Amino acid sequence: KAGVTQTPRYLIKTRGQQVTLSCSPISGHRSVSWYQQTPGQGLQFLFEYFSETQRNKGNFPGRFSGRQFSNSRSEMNVSTLELGDSALYLCASSLGVIQGGWQFFGPGTRLTVL
């Protein structure tokens, strides 16, 4: 079974631009979560989608948004990029139907904002 894939793997943008990241979950997984990882901050939860609906949201500004398609693929969008948005963005998928079910992570997209 193929793992979680994320595209692109690396991205360089400038302040004020917008970016869209993509995530394809493991086949059969209906939950997709997004995390931001920065040095010293660990993984910060952004949001979770389940069957095309946002089920949970973390404490990030409205510039961060996402969506999920009927095939469970998910996209994350960041508008008006700031230098502090430079981070590794990780996507994780799971069946999502039980609490505590572990998630399978993709390799991440490394975003650099100049």
* Site for another protein, rule CB under 8 A: 4, 31, 33, 35, 40-45, 48, 50, 55-56, 58, 90, 92, 94, 96, 99-108
Cα–Cα distance for residue pair 74/69, rounded to 1 Å: 6
In the complex, the smallest distance separating the C-beta of residue 49 from another protein, rounded to whole angstroms, is 9
In the complex, the smallest distance separating the C-beta of residue 15 from another protein, rounded to whole angstroms, is 26
In the complex, the smallest distance separating the C-beta of residue 61 from another protein, rounded to whole angstroms, is 17
Rank residues 22 and 44 by Cβ distance to another protein and give the closer one.
44
Rank residues 70 and 98 by Cβ distance to another protein and give the closer one.
98
Rank residues 6 and 113 by Cβ distance to another protein and give the closer one.
6
In the complex, the smallest distance separating the C-beta of residue 106 from another protein, rounded to whole angstroms, is 5
Radius of gyration of the chain (CA): 13
